[in-house]
Amino acid sequence: MAEMVETATKTFGSSETISAHLRVKVSSGLIAAAGAQEADIGVIGAAVLTSGDYAAVRLRNAQGTCKMVAAGTFSQNAVVYGAASGTIDDVPNGNVIGIALEAATAANDVVEVLRVDTLEEMTGDDVPAVFGAGGDAEILWSTGDASNHALVLALGDSNQALHVTDLAAKATDWTVTADTHPTLYIHSNTTPITDYFKIGAHDGSGAWIADMVGGALLYAGFDGLECLQLNETASAVNHIGLTNAATGNMPKITCEGEDDTGIILCNKAGEEILILDSIASSVNELTIASAATGLNPSITASGETNVGLDIATKGTGDLGLTAGSGDIVLKCGVVAADKISLQAYDVGTTAYTEMIKIESHATIPQITIGDDAADSKIGFFGATPVAQQAKSSYNNWAAATDVAGALAALGLVDSA
């Protein structure tokens, strides 16, 4: 029948020689020195010199303090943990032994220790709760920042991942590569292995704030209402970049991924509304500017010193300009050589030919129709087009006969 004791000590046979004051464990009814991660039943009083001898063990639940052997140096009041061959040290490994009431100045020093069963009994600054057989993680109230103490979760180098999941999946093999930078995984309760949200992995140059694995949609919002929806495309390489700016500069929306990639704006059905395309090595662009009260917004070509603006329709489509209840105003440049030119496609030459030119001629506006006097004709309101006359033929516009002759030559009135 098993023997019961109500005292602070109990006698055991030994399976090996054991020095005094070492932590011991029970194996097959015999005591032996406890390993760093092994739970001990107490400390041996006197040394066991021969295997098989009996020795009294001061049980770990005994009142008062006990003596233990230091594996290395540590200070008074240090939290001590199990160390190799029944010793103790201040290196956290999850196996809390107690508080050192004396400092250890060298290995194998015998010091007085107040035993505690858990860190719950040791409240105070910089006292870590240690997890894992190799001291893989710690939680502590840190005073490292003297002006702002903080609760710290510290992860070991073997894997710096933190997983949040339901109880049923707590022992899951997540099948993800070990993280070398602290990373938070929040798992789906439905399919926790394949569907999760990833935050962190800051490697000094970049980090993830919203890496969702599994599923195709990611939402951001307020009060349960969506403000932003991110959609996934399989094997995607092109994406959007947002860059802030210093005072006086404008933030940027950038097409990232492949070179010379543009942006497409679509409606809910995926139908294209606006395509902003990119040309390799482009330096010229459009600037769209708002305006103050009483002024018009503007669409301006910008980039190099002299930049034009092309507007093209597709196929047989027309180009329409509609001006509410106002006028349509076309303006050319600010020097005499600037002009307004209307060109049409010539099927014979397969090129665009200038048909009407409006320009400034000294102080008098000049309108030229056609680019060849022999071939250029004009007609109004169904009149048969006639050849244009040289301006010199009708110089004296004050004479009624010259006016009538000019209008007849243009096909505007009957010559009779």
CATH number at residue 110: 2.40.300.10
| 204-224: pLDDT as tens digits | 998 888 777 887 788 888 888
* pLDDT confidence tier of residue 22, bands split at 50, 70 and 90: very high
Residue 105 pLDDT exceeds 90: yes
My answer on whether 210 and 256 are in the same domain is no
**What is the structure's pLDDT at 369?**
65
My answer on whether 35 and 117 are in the same domain is yes
Tokens of 150: 């903080």
Average pLDDT on 103-132 reads 82
- Amino acid type, 346: D
**What is the structure's pLDDT at 74?**
96
Q: What stretches of 14-172 show up as alpha helix (H) in DSSP?
A: none
Instruction: Answer whether residue 152 is part of any domain.
Output: no
Domain termination residue (choose one: 179, 210, 231)? 231
* pLDDT confidence tier of residue 114, bands split at 50, 70 and 90: very high
44-48, 320-324, 336-340: which is most confident: 44-48
Query: What is the domain range of residue 109?
Result: 9-121
Provide the domain count of the chain.
4
User: Which range among 18-32, 116-130, 338-352 shows the weakest confidence by mean pLDDT?
Assistant: 116-130
**What is the structure's pLDDT at 66?**
95
Average pLDDT on 216-244 reads 86
* pLDDT confidence tier of residue 395, bands split at 50, 70 and 90: very low
Domain termination residue (choose one: 190, 210, 231)? 231
- Average model confidence (pLDDT) for the chain? 84
Residues 48, 49, 51, 53: is their CA dihedral positive or negative? negative
**What is the structure's pLDDT at 319?**
87
**What is the structure's pLDDT at 173?**
93
* pLDDT confidence tier of residue 398, bands split at 50, 70 and 90: very low
**What is the structure's pLDDT at 26?**
94
Q: Between 216 and 107, whose confidence is greater?
A: 107
pTM metric for this prediction = 0.57
Residue 392 pLDDT exceeds 50: no
**What is the structure's pLDDT at 64?**
93
Instruction: Answer whether residue 392 is part of any domain.
Output: yes
Instruction: Answer whether residue 173 is part of any domain.
Output: yes
**What is the structure's pLDDT at 403?**
59
My answer on whether 192 and 291 are in the same domain is no
Instruction: Answer whether residue 388 is part of any domain.
Output: yes
Mapping DSSP to helix (H, G, I), strand (E, B) and coil, where does residue 341 land? Answer: strand
My answer on whether 117 and 173 are in the same domain is no
| 55-77: pLDDT as tens digits | 999 999 999 999 999 999 999 99
CA 118 to chain centre: 40
**What is the structure's pLDDT at 314?**
92
Q: What stretches of 120-251 show up as alpha helix (H) in DSSP?
A: none
My answer on whether 247 and 291 are in the same domain is yes
303-317, 332-346, 365-379: which is most confident: 303-317
My answer on whether 106 and 32 are in the same domain is yes
Instruction: Answer whether residue 54 is part of any domain.
Output: yes
Instruction: Answer whether residue 151 is part of any domain.
Output: no
My answer on whether 259 and 223 are in the same domain is no
CB-CB contact of 340 with 358 (8 Å): yes
Instruction: Answer whether residue 414 is part of any domain.
Output: no
CB-CB contact of 101 with 113 (8 Å): yes
Q: What percent of the chain has pLDDT over 70?
A: 83
My answer on whether 197 and 115 are in the same domain is no
Domain termination residue (choose one: 66, 94, 121)? 121
My answer on whether 287 and 262 are in the same domain is yes
Count of other CB atoms within 10 angstroms of residue 104: 25
45-49, 91-95, 386-390: which is most confident: 45-49
* pLDDT confidence tier of residue 394, bands split at 50, 70 and 90: very low
Q: What stretches of 324-414 show up as alpha helix (H) in DSSP?
A: 400-409
My answer on whether 219 and 250 are in the same domain is no
Instruction: Answer whether residue 133 is part of any domain.
Output: no
Q: Between 350 and 38, whose confidence is greater?
A: 38
- Give the residue among 386, 392, 393, 390 at the shortest CA–CA distance from 408: 386
My answer on whether 355 and 401 are in the same domain is yes
Residue 355 pLDDT exceeds 90: no
The tokens 């050319």 sit on which residue? 332
My answer on whether 187 and 203 are in the same domain is yes
**What is the structure's pLDDT at 137?**
87
